[in-house]
Amino acid sequence: WTGLLCPAGLYPSPVSSTANGATLPLPVSCSSSSSDSDSNGGMTALLVRWQPRNVINNKEILRDLIKLSTPVSFLIYKACTEMVMPMCSDGINDMFEPQKWDFHAYSEECFKAWGVRPRPSWIPTFYGGKNISAHSNIIFSNGGLDPWSGGGVTKNITDTLVAIMIPEGAHHLDLRSNNPFDPISVLQARLLEQRLSIGDHLLPGLSLLRLAC
């Protein structure tokens, strides 16, 4: 989760919901770790910077994340019920310590934290899996700086199932308020989303849903 929250929060202006409120936290962290190549000073600074948000024990990952903030707590509850997101690492194809996905252990942690059990097949059953052509009025916006975009919808499916790519966008940056530091790509995405929201091609009487990755 820490590996996702840090790059996902690559916003051009300070925020309080993720990544300790830092502006562009990943480049700042990398500069800290690479500025002192002859000693451990850079790495020490990096660890100190992220210590408040560091998750050390896998068995306590849910409880640690629940304490971070209300938005993150809500996400963890969703992940413990209907939006299960398996995560694993092998230390070979990534930069993280090896960690296998253990659904049973995850379910137990969810039950301890919330008194609920995850339902891994609920979303594909309810929404139709990858075959969503029968749906309508959904904009799938994908930020190029957001790790979640790797699993996003990146191509238009129909005239009312539209994908918008934001190369310089962090996690749901297009859903945030305008900021003087916003990149051109997110300003263009917001304009397109507004036009699509009021466009004549949308089915009448239906609201438009934006899913930001």
pLDDT per residue over 95-104, tens digit each?
888 989 999 9
Q: Are 3 and 96 in contact (CB under 8 A)?
A: yes
CA–CA separation, 72 and 91 (whole Å): 26
pTM of the model: 0.65
Looking at every residue in the chain, the average pLDDT score rounds to: 74
Q: CB count, 10 Å around CB of 171?
A: 24
pLDDT of residue 107: 95
pLDDT of residue 115: 93
Q: At what angle do helices 41-50 and 25-34 cross, to 10 degrees?
A: 150
**Nearest residue to 103 via CA among 85, 130, 128, 124:** 85
- Please tell me the total number of residues recorded for the chain in this structure: 213
pLDDT category at 34 given cuts 50, 70, 90 is low
Q: CB count, 10 Å around CB of 173?
A: 28
pLDDT category at 198 given cuts 50, 70, 90 is confident
User: At residue 199, what are phi and psi to the nearest 5 degrees?
Assistant: -70, 155
Give the pLDDT confidence of 152-192 residue by residue, as tens digits: 899 999 988 999 999 999 888 898 888 898 999 999 999 99
pLDDT of residue 35: 53
Give the pLDDT confidence of 7-25 residue by residue, as tens digits: 555 677 666 544 444 555 5
